[in-house]
């Protein structure tokens, strides 16, 4: 979190973040005032840093630092090399995916997640908005929620998405998906939704961005920068799918009996299609 946010933090908070990154073991033994003094800032700046990181306070920050220090098997994200053997690629991709999932779990704020689940469960219609690789995540979310009878939309055409959102009702929800958080089209659709008093949810990598600024509820995925093959959106896709699955399962759990009924009904419908129009 600190490494990802470092370039965009104000000068005083950047000093504190840098000090923590270089001296994590020492940082967890200090008070806010002591940390401010060691980093040539102030205790107030330490508290501001915690707010910038969306943390509950300095103790929450120290708790997360201590947790990171206990990790012994973190190999980091590893890129594929030219002409690399297949077993090595398999191992790297598997480790990258596992690390992404673990980091995303650490970044999920359960209070924000609970808010998102509640508004999705009550929503008349859910509009999933994503461009490029994030558009594929939006389509995955749509098919999941449709299976439990939640009217959902996911347009690859951003103009069509804007048209639909412009006509949305107050009990609808718009979910903006963007790994970078800087996809202008997604940010603008969320802004349009807010102007129409529609609840907005963002799903981005950790940190403030144009997309999160337009969201009422903010959900984050792993912020770790991907290696050279970022264009494949490999790790970010895994993280986004994980959060969508968590949202789906939480909503499904809240309406368990209805969910089982809808899942059975949709399964029977698919079976009907694949059995030449005959019911089992």
Burial of 153-182, coded b for 16+ CB within 10 Å and e otherwise, reads bbbeebeebbebbeebeeebbbbbbbbebe
Kindly list the structural domains of the chain, giving each domain's residue range(s) and its CATH number in brackets, ordered by start.
1-70 (1.10.10.10), 114-265 (3.40.50.10490)
How would DSSP label each residue in 70-86?
T--------PPPTT--H
pLDDT tens, the chain, 280 aa long: 888 788 889 999 999 999 999 999 999 999 999 999 999 999 999 999 998 888 889 999 998 898 888 765 555 556 667 777 888 888 888 888 888 888 888 888 899 999 999 999 999 999 999 998 899 999 999 999 999 989 999 987 899 999 999 999 989 999 999 998 999 999 999 999 999 999 999 999 888 889 999 999 999 998 665 554 543 457 788 899 999 999 999 999 988 888 888 888 888 888 888 887 676 6
The token pair at 77 is 């994200």
Cα–Cα distance for residue pair 203/154, rounded to 1 Å = 15
Distances (CA, A) of 204 to 74, 81, 116, 140: 23, 28, 14, 16
């Amino acid at each position: 979190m600190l490494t990802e946010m470092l370039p965009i933090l104000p000068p005083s908070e950047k000093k504190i973040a840098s000090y923590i990154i270089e001296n994590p073991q020492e940082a967890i033994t200090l008070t806010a005032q002591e940390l401010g003094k060691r980093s040539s800032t102030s205790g107030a700046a330490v508290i501001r840093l915690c707010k910038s990181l969306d943390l509950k306070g300095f103790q929450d920050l120290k708790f997360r630092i201590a947790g990171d220090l206990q990790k012994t098997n973190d190999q980091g994200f590893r890129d594929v090399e030219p002409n690399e053997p297949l077993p090595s690629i398999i191992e790297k991709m598997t480790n990258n995916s596992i690390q992404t999932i673990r980091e995303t779990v650490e970044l999920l704020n359960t209070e924000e997640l609970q808010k998102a689940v509640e508004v999705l469960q009550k929503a008349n219609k859910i509009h999933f908005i994503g461009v490029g690789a994030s558009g594929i995540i939006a389509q995955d979310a749509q098919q999941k929620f449709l299976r439990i009878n939640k009217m959902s939309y996911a347009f690859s055409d951003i103009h069509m998405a804007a048209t639909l959102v412009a006509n949305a009702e107050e009990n609808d929800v718009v979910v903006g998906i963007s790994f970078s958080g800087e996809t202008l089209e997604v940010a603008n659709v969320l802004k349009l939704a807010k102007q129409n008093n529609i609840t907005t949810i963002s799903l981005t990598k950790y940190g403030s961005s144009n997309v999160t600024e337009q969201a009422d509820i903010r959900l984050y995925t792993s912020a770790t920068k991907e290696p050279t093959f970022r264009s494949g959106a490999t790790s970010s896709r895994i993280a986004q799918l994980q959060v969508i699955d968590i949202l789906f399962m939480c909503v499904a759990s809240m309406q368990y009996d209805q969910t089982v009924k809808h899942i059975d009904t949709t399964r029977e419908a698919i079976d009907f299609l694949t059995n030449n129009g005959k019911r089992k």
